[in-house]
Amino acid sequence: MKLSQQIDETGLFSYALWEGVSNLESEITRLTKQLEKAERDAAISRDLRELCGYVEDGSSEVVLFFQDDATRDWCIKVGSGKNQKCYYAPSFRAALDKAMMKGGAA
């Protein structure tokens, strides 16, 4: 085998290896983003479930959430009647965080 053929084969192999690693890094980045989104979604589900309470231990609550038309803030109302508390924030997640922290569920 001539030296020029060895260099070409080595170069092609190196390029293929680099391309494979690059594709693998892209796939890892994509999967990491998917995992982060799934973890955020799971956290929201857990927080909402905690906020609603449990019938088994008598901690069940009425929870209402909506976006204010005028301010575009999110509101989460927890409880009913005199025990109702409202938590406002610019984002749904921030309003939920306030309700969890101040509502004593966190």
User: Tens digits of per-residue pLDDT, 13-25?
Assistant: 666 666 777 888 8
Measure CA 83 to chain center.
30
pTM: 0.62
The pLDDT assigned to 11 comes to 60
Position with higher pLDDT, 8 vs 63? 63
The pLDDT assigned to 102 comes to 74
Position with higher pLDDT, 67 vs 103? 67
Determine contact, residues 74/95, Cβ cutoff 8 Å: yes
> C-alpha distances in angstroms, 41 versus 11, 46, 54, 72?
45, 9, 20, 22
pLDDT per residue over 81-102, tens digit each?
Answer: 888 999 999 999 999 999 998 7
List Cβ neighbours of 66 (8 Å cut-off, separation of 6 or more). Answer: 74, 75
> C-alpha distances in angstroms, 4 versus 16, 17, 56, 61?
18, 20, 77, 77
